[in-house]
Structure 1
Amino acid sequence: MATLVIELFAAIVGIVCFKKYKDTPIRYFIYFLIYIFICELLATYTYSVRYNGVLGFLDTTRFRHNYWWGTLYWEIGGVLFYIWFFAKIIVKDYLSKALNILAILFLICSVAIIIFNFDQYFTSNFKFIDISGTILIVISITCYFLDVMLSERVLYFYQSIYFYIAALLFLWWIILTPLTFYQMYFTLADPEYIQLKSSIYLITNCLTYIGFGLILILCKPPKHES
């Protein structure tokens, strides 16, 4: 629930600052922050499934867990948004087109994996989707940095809101992705790991979304990037 509060903070800051960024691509980032909060809120439906809650009738169905929802809105939807976002703000046309092609391939592969492993879609995460998504995000951020370095914008990169968003995202993905390899330990039989993973996620999410909020408040609307 603490993560929800932080995500709500970022979404509210985005709404408050929307007028400031309404004529820039940052408005899509604000939409995404709102989207993330709503999706995370919906993901808490599992609390109503357990212990004979309002949605207790789902306890014996595929929807008992929310792996399917997380894969859909974040591991696929979130990755596609960030690839599209960086492709949009990158000036070099060949880099932008390359990212769009990678996004299409990622979507096709993800859908195929889900279709051929449909039962797993409801019981656990897909390592391939998670890891490939991370690789594509890193590639997208790298392309953005490369695009900046190959232009005059490198002289004032520190003034760009895009730079700080990219830096925060890079750190978020690099910190949390390794946890995917230890998903097998995320069971009631290993409460220490559950606590450790939850703490890492909480701290990382708090720093990231508080960072997004501060960036929106302190930075100026981009003028040099389209």
Structure 2
Amino acid sequence: MKDLLDYIIAHNFYYTFLCEIIAAACGSYYLIKNSCTSRELRWFVYYLWLVFIVDLSGTYAIWAYLDNYETLPSLKDSVFARNTWLFNILKIISFLAYCQLFIFQLKNPTTKKILKVSLVLYVIFGIYQCFASEVFFTDYIVINSFVGTFLLLICIGAYFYDMLTSDKILYFSKNAVFYISLGALVWHLAYMPLNIYNAYFNEGNLYFIEVYASVLSYSNIFMYSLFGFGFLFSSRKKNEKVVKSMRF
């Protein structure tokens, strides 16, 4: 366990864990302060807690490797020796959580219906790829990331368009979903190019691994910090609005 902690500290993974739990905690605070929060945003906060738990649980593979599989010898030759299977599943859940959040913000029924159907088809496609892929336990399923990212960018674009063509633009800074959309947009635009060169992620390309880790780390810090700020700022604005209404 000490080797695992040393590894996490040496590679600055604790920054990501810290930002994840702060974002989830801020989201929970937002839910407490705003009892009328939509179901989609409430489920998104639950998703943030899930991400933290899965990321923390995924360190089992690092721990087993650094421990030379002495504590868990049966894990060494099993399909669960790597944690990619865990994150392949989380990837589908992530796009489901993000897309449904933005889809349910839309007012146009036609656009909303098309994106709903597209999201269902993506989930079916993603699950099929997990069962059909030969690399489910050994590598990340890149096609799921590409298709999911493309769909997510469309959902975010539809959300921005809907906001610009309605009175939502007048109070966008008070809406936690806006900060989530901005953070998700930047994160996926930064991470998507890395997937193109995912084949270079191996022990023979240590420089690429360092770049990959750095981009992912900074992107995580930016996104989850923005989430946390959005939840706190939106909560404060809503509380100020309630106080002002009580004065009249």
TM-score, normalised with respect to structure 2: 0.83
Equivalent-residue separation in structure 2 for 1:11 and 1:114 (angstroms): 28
The aligned residue for residue 167 of structure 2 is 152
Contact 1:48 1:54 in 2 (8 A): no
Equivalent-residue separation in structure 1 for 2:28 and 2:126 (angstroms): 32
Partner SS for 1:177? helix
Contact 2:84 2:140 in 1 (8 A): yes
Equivalent pairs, count: 221
Alignment of 1:26-105 (within 5 A): 26-50=41-65, 51-73=68-90, 75-105=91-121
1:108 is displaced (CA, Å) by 1.5
The aligned residue for residue 106 of structure 1 is 122
In structure 2, stretches of 5+ residues that fail to align are 1-12, 242-248
Structure 2 counterpart of 1:134, from 132, 135, 149: 149
1:77 is displaced (CA, Å) by 0.6
1:53 is displaced (CA, Å) by 4.6
Contact 1:24 1:221 in 2 (8 A): no
Alignment of 1:7-18 (within 5 A): 7-18=20-31
Q: Which amino acid aligns with 1:21?
A: N
Report the RMSD for the aligned CA atoms in angstroms: 1.9
In structure 1, stretches of 5+ residues that fail to align are none
Structure 2 counterpart of 1:169, from 162, 184, 190: 184
Partner SS for 2:71? coil
1:21 is displaced (CA, Å) by 2.9
The aligned residue for residue 20 of structure 1 is 33
Write the deviation string for residues 186-220 of structure 1: whole angstroms up to 9, x where unpaired: 11111111111111111110111111111111123
Contact 1:80 1:103 in 2 (8 A): yes
1:122 is displaced (CA, Å) by 0.8
Change (3 A) 1:89 1:53: farther
1:159 is displaced (CA, Å) by 3.2
Larger-Rg structure: 2
Partner SS for 2:80? helix
Contact 1:21 1:27 in 2 (8 A): no
Fraction of identical pairs, as percent: 27
